Amino acid sequence: MQKLVIAATAALTMVAGAAFAQETIKFGYIDPLSGGGASVGEGGLKTFQYLADEINAKGGILGRKIEVLPLDNKTNPQESLVQAQKAIDAGARYITQGNGSSVAAALSDFVTKNNTRNPGKEVLYFNYAAVDPSLTNEKCSYWHFRWDASSDIKMEALTSYMKDIPAIKKVYLINQDYSFGQSVRADARKMLGAKRPDIQIVGDELHPLLKITDFSPYVAKIKASGADSVVTGNWGQDIALLLKAAADAGLKVNWYTYYAGGAGGPTAIKQTGLDHQVFQITEGFANSGHQPAMDFEKAFRAKVNMSLWYPRAVNEMRMFKAAAEKANSLDPVKVAAALEDLKFEVLDGGEGVMRKDDHQFFQPIYISSFGKLAANEPFDEEGTGWGWHLVSKVDTSKTMVPTTCKMTRP
């Protein structure tokens, strides 16, 4: 009896396997879709769905269409693992996630264990926004690929720009008290010290994550320190409230930020009236001037009714297609091998490369400022009438940072 059941199951699986070839490629999207982070998570979901539609309209990957599975993780690492299991049950062999380095660390760990325990059912994890450097250093995994520039790469690019601005003399660091904020602060100290030893770090602040309602005490400290520039990795309400308090107190400094362009950020900057005093480091932005990117932005805005927050997501999906076609297979093991050292023309122009040593993608990085738009800059943000303006472009070669990753390869 038991043998019969096994035989029947095996036969069924084979039938299912044959049918599977015509089925869609399930692509698990794990990010917050409810609760506090939902606005960010939904933006990402719309982006990936748009990109999947774009690829599907051109015939999909190797003749199969991509289907994005939205999975809500409530920004909670444990919940993310449950959702990842759900995605695998639904047949997903590729998952993507971006919000929260703690989630990313848990997912990377989960995928690695899953792949060693279930050979033949490997899963790849594409990271599009979690920037903690440890994910491609001491905690690196063969099954994890990151398209966003990690926070040390961004700092490398930012300091390359700052070293040529003689007006910067006193820098104040203010960051959120968790691993990302701490890595921003440590990198800023190290890299500024190496490139511009004459710059004085007049303050180095860590504040609790998303708990401060009134930043005026911090602004008072910045003011007292006499800083001319502030470097911050703050995101969400921590950047909005910080800028608001600064504008209220009449603090005149330049803000070098990672995430001032996040959801709600542009609205807050416009409210404060800090015209071209807030800078952002990204791998691309709406007014970059590269025609294909501007065309993409226009079509994207027209369809999804939001600006493209994640140019890296475009690179991710297009490179996924390129790698699968290079390997001529959708087997995650082969796609992973094909992704290594894959060179790719990124959305905003210039060549990027997925480094084999740590699975970190390197690409040109832009520094832009937010304020009134020039005539050739068509895109504003969040209906404010203000937008991002190109300040400096840092080439891929100048963003290469060393890695300590010792990767276990299958």
Partner 1 sequence: MLELIVISTLNGLLFGMLLFLLSSGLTVIFSMMGVLNFAHASFYMLGAFFGYQLTKWIGFWPALLLAPLLVGAIGMAVERYGLRNTHKHGHVAELLLTFGLAFAIEEIVAMMWGRSPVDYRVPALLDFPAFTIFSTNYPAYKIFMLAVSILIFIVLLTVLKRTRVGLIVQAALTHPHMVGHLGHNVGRIFMLVFGVGSALAGIAGVIAGPALVTQSDMAAALGPILFVVIVFGGLGSLPGAFIASLVIGLIQTFAVALNGSLASAFGPLDPSAGPSVLTDIWNVTIAQVAPIVPYLLLVIILIVRPMGLMGTRET
Partner 2 sequence: MNAKMTSTPTSKIVDTTVGDGLRFYGIWLAGIAVLIVLPLIFSSGGSLTSFSLIGIAIVFALSYNILLGQTGLLSFGHAVHYGLGGFAACHMMNAVVSHGWPIPLPFIPLFGGLGGLAFALVIGWVMTKRAGTVFSMISLGIAELVASSSLILRSVFGGESGISTDRTSLPKILGLSFGPQLQVYYLIAFWLVISAIAMYALTRTPLGRISNAVRDNPERVQFIGYDPHVVRYIAFCFAGFFAGVAGGLAAINFEIANAAYLGAIQSGLVLFSTFIGGVAFFFGPILGAILVTYLQLGLTSVTGVWQLYFGIIFIGIVMLSPGGIAGLIMMHRPLVRAGTLPTVIPSYLLAAVPTLALACGVILTIESIARTHSGQGSPINLFGVAFSPASPVTWASAAILVAGGFFVARLSWRRVGEAWDRATTIARDRGYLA
| Cα–Cα nearest to 227, from 281, 280, 177, 174 | 174
Q: Are 396 and 350 in contact (CB under 8 A)?
A: yes
Minimal distance, residue 119 CB to partner 2, in Å: 11
By rule CB under 8 A, what string of x and - marks binding of each residue 64-83 to partner 2? -------xx-x-xxx--xx-
Helical packing angle, 101-117 and 77-89, nearest 10°: 40
Minimal distance, residue 29 CB to partner 1, in Å: 18
Which one among 40, 92, 95, 106 touches partner 2, defined by CB under 8 A? 106
- Interaction between residue 34 and partner 2 (CB under 8 A): yes
- Interaction between residue 267 and partner 2 (CB under 8 A): no
By rule CB under 8 A, what string of x and - marks binding of each residue 114-153 to partner 2? ---x--------------x-x-------------------
Minimal distance, residue 303 CB to partner 1, in Å: 19
- Interaction between residue 111 and partner 2 (CB under 8 A): no
Nearer to partner 1 among residue 64 and residue 139 (C-beta): 139
Query: How far apart are alpha carbons 346 and 312 in whole angstroms?
Result: 8
* Helix locations, 24-148, DSSP H: 38-57, 77-89, 101-117
Which residue is it, tokens 């939001």?
Answer: 306
Minimal distance, residue 305 CB to partner 1, in Å: 13
- Interaction between residue 308 and partner 2 (CB under 8 A): no
- Interaction between residue 178 and partner 2 (CB under 8 A): yes
* Helix locations, 118-178, DSSP H: 151-162
* The pairing of beta strand 351-354 with beta strand 229-232: unpaired
Give me the residues that bind partner 1 (CB under 8 A), please.
36, 38-39, 177, 205-208, 210-214, 216-218, 220-221, 223-224, 237, 240-241, 244, 248-251, 263-264, 267-268, 271
Strand ranges across the sheet with 229-232: 200-207, 170-176, 229-232, 254-257, 278-282, 365-372, 386-394
3-state DSSP helix/strand/coil percent for the chain, to nearest 5? 45, 20, 35
Query: How far apart are alpha carbons 36 and 40 in whole angstroms?
Result: 9
| Interface stretch with partner 2, choices 13-21, 97-105, 352-360, 387-395 (CB under 8 A) | 97-105
Nearer to partner 1 among residue 223 and residue 326 (C-beta): 223
| Cα–Cα nearest to 361, from 326, 321, 312, 293 | 312
Residues that bind partner 2 (CB under 8 A): 33-35, 38, 42, 71-72, 74, 76-78, 81-82, 85-86, 88-89, 101-102, 105-106, 109-110, 113, 117, 132, 134, 177-179, 208-209, 305
